[in-house]
Structure 1
């Protein structure tokens, strides 16, 4: 199986919206993903298989040393095949190339093995305020 990865790759809003809904278990929302990432992101990584968007991660940043992963998603039928790990690897390399020193990620407890073992993140203290 050949998966291709593209930094700041072209995509249709509906494809990312459908993948996000599938990955996070909700109905499609009609989000205008293209406008959102172009306005707020350092970049994003798309993963494609046979013309289908099967993975996506958004890399936002502070305009300097810090980049942050948001919305890491892989189609459920392709999880466990290294797609997510490669999405993160491409994102990390591109953030490094842009001059970032740090790549941050927040995640739910069940994703610890993915981010720590597969992707190489390490634990750090952080804080969070729930706004909603």
Structure 2
């Protein structure tokens, strides 16, 4: 999909450098990460590039069955508030469905509830344990 020089791709080759650059721009507390082992365990991931630069990313992991989980939805700060995050998550949901998932889960902070509602999620009760 190409819109205004924006390219959405499913499971593209991504370098640690490109992902770390995006995460450093978007997440102030980000520490350099080796992403290759994480992607190797993922069900799928979706990326957005503009002019060859990674500007958006979302990862989906699965349980090997009906459940999949959205992780690391990230859009470069220069590109936020333009619907790119919603586009990423919806593409990830469609791909997860195609790969056999029946349920897509996401955890988020309260201020992101409206964003994930626009993506198609509804709030549910869940539990969380910090390890």
TM-score between the two structures when normalised by the length of structure 2: 0.93
CA contact (8 A) 1:44 1:59 kept: yes
User: Which residue does the alignment assign to 2:25?
Assistant: 22
How much has 1:28 moved relative to structure 2?
4.2
Aligned to 1:113: 114
For 2:123, what is the secondary structure of its paired residue? coil
Unaligned regions of 5+ residues in structure 1, if any? none
Partner secondary structure for residue 43 of structure 2: strand
The CA deviation at 1:24 is 1.5
- The ranges of structure 1 where at least 4 consecutive aligned residues each deviate by more than 6 angstroms after the TM superposition are none
Give the superposed CA RMSD: 1.1
| TM-superposed deviation, 1:3 | 1.2
- Per-residue CA deviation, residues 52-111 of structure 1 (Å, 9 max, x unaligned), is 000000100101100000000000011011110110011000000011000100011111
Does residue 47 of structure 2 align to residue 46 of structure 1?
yes
Partner residue, 1:104: 105
Answer whether contact 1:4 1:47 (CA < 8 A) is retained: yes
Structure 2 counterpart of 1:6: 9
Secondary structure (helix, strand or coil) at the match of 1:17 reads helix
How many pairs does the alignment contain? 128
* Structure 2 equivalent of residue 35 of structure 1: 37
Contact 1:18 1:28 in 2 (8 A): no
Residue segments in structure 2 that go unaligned for 5+ positions in a row: none
